[in-house]
Structure 1
């Protein structure tokens, strides 16, 4: 995380730009196009306007559940479009055979399980597909998109990895961006706060780790072979969709 990527709004949580992250073919993500954060419930009116005017954020995608949104609604400026696309709760449940197999297998780390489900569960995938539909529909005049959850670390972390994977961002940069949540949250002492510990599925106080990042990459590589094939099978993206996304967000 660089000074250019961290957005210095005092009441924002883990608010960062994806601008400047390099792709494998030598290009970079455009400035003032993609942002990620935790919830925006504590922004002042002036900060929300600064986010709109200085950083050109015109669209906010909220990955939180109905209950989270009700407890801490985003504070947005006039003219911002808002879309709630909840990743939780998961919809797919294990069959009897799968449950029986798990009973005799080594227990899976619960955080690893949640991350895998975010990449494969039908309800989570519907939310992420809608997110990509919004990304694909952007024009030069539409401003930037901000994607967030509660901490901006897990649901948003997976969303950012998906977007970066679709844009061809290098694995090293994807990993750096994922892990940068720790520093952004620790700077404000947020990882241990009850506010984040109450996040759905208790992900909030769990730090971003190299192991969790590796789990995502392994699932994509081992089950699909590449991010491009993951998008083909799970997001129902054509190669033309990936090209359009690149045109919208990479220079």
Structure 2
């Protein structure tokens, strides 16, 4: 039985400093989505995938292709598993991810920092976004999975939902649900963020906003995409170079069996 949306949103808004048990609600974690079922998946890194996990990936989920959005260093530390029948795709970003400037996350709920950070991500991973959307356009019968961590896959998940016609609120809520999915590795992610920003501690100004997932930050990013590219569709046709016919096919393949 699906967990009511209001309960999911409340849980997703849990303070990142607090623990909660996500496992109990995972079977009912069914967010609002116009995407067709069992085609597009996202996850954290797959380096620790067990044999039973591999079997579930290829059997129950039917995944045919995996897109890795991680950096070379991340891939070296935790290589992608080799899975029979699954094609692994990795395209190096045009430049390394910049170190987040915590000063840009101090004001408000960190909207300005997220705007800068996420605009950079969609720019430097443009070739990866393009490859995944080409897969959607050309291989609608081959389920795929995109993985890295919280932000890169969260951004791409938002892009897919927007192209599929989800409401702005539904897209923002789906992005916030990463707070639930990442709870088992919350402490590790906090430490990763601390080291990645050279923060002296979790109480450094801006750090708390950086590691939280607040709807206002996603909406600030969406407004920035609208201003710079004319929205997600403008990003796909302008920056990524897809035609209007391509876009129509991608939308159809995301929503129709």
- Common topology (TM > 0.5): yes
* Residues 80-107 of structure 1 deviation map (CA, whole Å, 9 limit, x = unaligned): 1100134473599xxxxxxxxxxxxxx9
TM-score (norm. length: structure 1): 0.72
Contact 2:68 2:89 in 1 (8 A): yes
| Residues 1:239 and 2:240 are matched in the alignment | no
Contact 1:64 1:88 in 2 (8 A): no
Of 42, 46, 53, the residue aligned with 1:36 is 42
Of 174, 187, 192, the residue aligned with 1:197 is 192
Q: Which runs of 4+ in 1 moved over 6 A?
A: none
**Kindly tell me: are residues 71 and 135 of structure 1, through their superposed partners in 2, closer, same or farther at Cα, counting changes over 3 Å?**
same
Aligned to 2:227: 222
TM-score (norm. length: structure 2): 0.71
Distance 1:229 1:200 in 2: 35
Aligned length: 212
Moved more, 29-38 or 70-79: 70-79
Aligned to 2:115: 112
Aligned to 1:148: 147
User: Whose RCO is larger (CA < 8 A, sep 6+)?
Assistant: 2
* Residues 92-151 of structure 1 deviation map (CA, whole Å, 9 limit, x = unaligned): 9xxxxxxxxxxxxxx9954432111123x3x321222222222222132x2x110011x2
Q: CA RMSD in A?
A: 3.3
Aligned to 1:130: 131
| Residues 1:71 and 2:77 are matched in the alignment | yes
Distance 1:154 1:230 in 2: 18
Aligned to 1:184: 181
**5+ long unaligned stretches in structure 2:** 4-25, 99-109, 198-206
Q: Compare the two structures and name the one with the higher helix fraction.
A: 2
